[in-house]
Amino acid sequence: MLLTGPRTGSWESLHRIQQDAIPPSAVGGAHHVYLVLSLQRTGEQDPVTCEPVNPVNMAACLDVIVEKLVSLWRISAVRQNIHWFFLVVSILGSVLKEFQLVPPSYFSGPKTFLNVYLVKVGWGWTLLLLTPFLLLSNSALNRDVAFLLRRVLSLVTATACWFVCTETFLYIENVTGSCFATAALDVSHTDLMSKTSCVRAGLHWHGFDVSGHSFLLLYSSLFIMEETAPMAHLKTASLSTLPRVVVQLLYIALNVLVVVWIFMFVCTSVYFHDPSQKLVGSLCAILAWHGTYRVWYLRPWSPGLPPLRQFKPQKQRA
């Protein structure tokens, strides 16, 4: 019946013909091949579901995941208030730490996998994923070389902010600290006037240690949020299949990284540093983000903001 059956119709009708005309035991390789060829001739496509069975479905899965993430970041309340969320977490976490309301756990130690292999080199992970995403996404929206160079300058500017702030934190700890024989701060060594010499001697340096983790995790999250904004406008951009998949995978990886940064920020808030040290680190991150993306990048002599709406193609002159 399949060999003489109609070559037009829908997937559902042909599937019904297969079920009614051929018992399960009689379905062989030849019948299956002819059915596939018949379905291809109809000009219709099977509804794609998000099941990673073949490349088509895997692409559909990526589209679904990306659209969900884009929808989340499109919520104005999320984008406008995420820095307040970090501040609230830092304050509440500090309260929990001071009153010892959170019991010790695997994440209360400094040698955890996430802390050693992610947070310690956190800025490197951020740049490793964000740099190719920025280049691919921005070039898909505007191929002007000057524009792309300005966007790359945003990476340089953010890196400069990170470097200056972290070095400043180390300087503050050095000039406000003293060297002690034990962690109990019982015997001081006035002959050792720097943290480096104190630590090399096997002693303990105590100063105002601004939370570099709080700064890094908060600033990286805000930085990623700003620079991944063009993803909402890449659907109609001129991206071929491979670059499109690469951009989508990078975008998903960056969102996973933000989740990790938020989790580690919570751990930092409830397990490490004094409240004032975490608050200063968090405020420095917010000021660095606000000073660039909310003040300087609005000026014409700056790297500029990420493209938030698709550029219209220029009309060709006759």
Q: Which of 83, 204, 213, 233 is catalytic?
A: 213
**Residue 233 a catalytic site member:** no
Please provide the size of the chain in residues: 318
211 in Cβ contact with 277 (< 8 Å): yes
Q: 99-121: string of b/e by CB count within 10 Å (b at 16+)?
A: eeeeeeeebeeeebebbeebbee
Alpha helices in 75-144 (DSSP H): 76-98, 113-114, 122-141
Query: Which of 97, 126, 82, 87 has the alpha carbon at shortest distance from 267?
Result: 97
Residue 107 has phi, psi (to 5 degrees) of -85, 0
Question: Positive or negative CA dihedral for 256, 261, 263, 264?
Answer: positive
Q: What is the DSSP letter of 178?
A: E
* Matching residue, tokens 């945003």: 154
**Residue 273 a catalytic site member:** yes
Following CA atoms 233, 234, 238, 242 in sequence, which dihedral angle do they give, to the nearest 10 degrees?
180
Helix, strand, coil % in the chain, rounded to nearest 5: 65, 0, 30
Residue 37 three-state SS: helix
Q: Which of 83, 204, 233, 273 is catalytic?
A: 273
What is the set of active-site residues? 213, 273
